[in-house]
Amino acid sequence: MSFGKKIPPEESLARYKVADSQMPGKEADDQTGQSKDSDQALKLLERFESRAPRYRMDDLILPEGVRQEIKTLKSRINNHALIYREWGFQKIDPVGISVAVNYYGPPGTGKTMCAEALASDLGQPILEVNYAEIESKYVGETPKNIVAAFAQAKKSNALLFFDEADSILGRRLTNVTQSADHGVNVSRSVMLKQLDSFDGIVVFATNLAKNFDGAFVRRILQHVYVPLPDEACRLELWKRMIGVSVPGRDMIDFDNLAKESVCFSGGLIKNAVLLALCEVASREKSLQMLNQSDLIRSLQGVRRASQEIGQSHSVWTEIKQPPTEM
């Protein structure tokens, strides 16, 4: 999906320049330097590859309110050209040629799946970028990686997806004391410029939306909160994750599991199911039968680990409601 004039990705990347001091080994000869820039641009582009989405909308188990938000989001995307071009809103918002979306919420609630399903629904490949692929220890390299990701998404007409977006869209630093601090601010500025000029769809996902710089919040068309599953969703998750070929499935009390797994994300339910299945598989062939106690035991183990490692107990009671500051 495209909303504006396309620029060849190699040209887009070559247009980005940082200060000479940030380019160690820069050739004095312009012709040689241009050749090296072009070769480097192609190498950077090759780091990012698009692929077919792995999930569809039918694969998502979400509360009805979230489904409605995603439906509205798809309408906004599909009508973006109509609103901006035919109805003239581009005169009001000349830099709003791109569509940026942010899925935010607790870990394991399906934000990445939502991004993949959106790409599938729009008939586009997805180009997924995580923080490790963008960040570089060399000054000036991180901005180049950002530009390369956008250029490759444009080249392949892919939905561009940034996971762990809080690491990329965090607040700019006001007290700059070293080159690394300056590098962070340069990277944020480059990301802002890329968002303003990109004529495609960008999706962000984060567990820490509070850390976003306000400039990014304003540029994102829609923020969709993906909450922990309610009881009805947890029931469907348990049923889907315990396949019909699992021995003993017919005897499982799924309603009880849904009630017992309050504050569980889909990711935690998946972990609990896998733990129980591993325990069953370790038994003698004649005893390989999943039962309720296997699942309750694994559920309790996952809950204990989630409460004691990396999260405080209060998380389990406080993240039920969406933040109010978005």
pTM of the prediction? 0.79
**Residue 79 and residue 51 share a domain:** yes
Give the per-residue pLDDT at 182.
Answer: 56
Mean per-residue pLDDT of the chain: 81
Residue 206 lies in a domain: yes
Alpha helices in the chain (DSSP H): 9-15, 30-46, 64-78, 80-81, 111-122, 131-134, 141-156, 179-197, 214-219, 231-241, 254-260, 266-281, 292-308, 315-318
Measured CA to CA, the distance from residue 95 to residue 98 in angstroms comes to: 8
What pLDDT digit, counting tens, does each position of 149-207 carry?
Answer: 999 999 999 999 999 888 888 766 565 555 555 567 788 889 889 998 898 999 999 99
User: Domain of 277: which CATH number?
Assistant: 1.10.8
- 276 has pLDDT over 80: yes
In whole angstroms, give the CA distance from residue 10 to residue 26. 19
Return the sign of the alpha-carbon dihedral for residues 45, 191, 100, 57.
positive
Last residue of a domain, one of 175, 207, 225: 225
Of 250 and 214, more confident: 250
Give pLDDT tens digits for 20-55.
333 334 444 555 555 555 555 566 677 789 999 999
- State whether 220 and 240 are in the same domain: no
Does one domain contain both 197 and 306?
A: no
State whether 197 and 280 are in the same domain.
Answer: no
Q: Based on the fold, state whether residues 169 and 300 are members of the same structural domain.
A: no
Number of structural domains found in the chain: 2
> Tokens 């399906």 belong to which residue?
110
Between 147 and 320, residue with greater pLDDT: 147
Domain that holds residue 295: 231-318
What would the mean pLDDT of 272-277 be, rounded to a whole number? 98
Instruction: Examine the fold and report which residue of 225, 246, 269 is the final residue of a domain before the chain moves on.
Output: 225
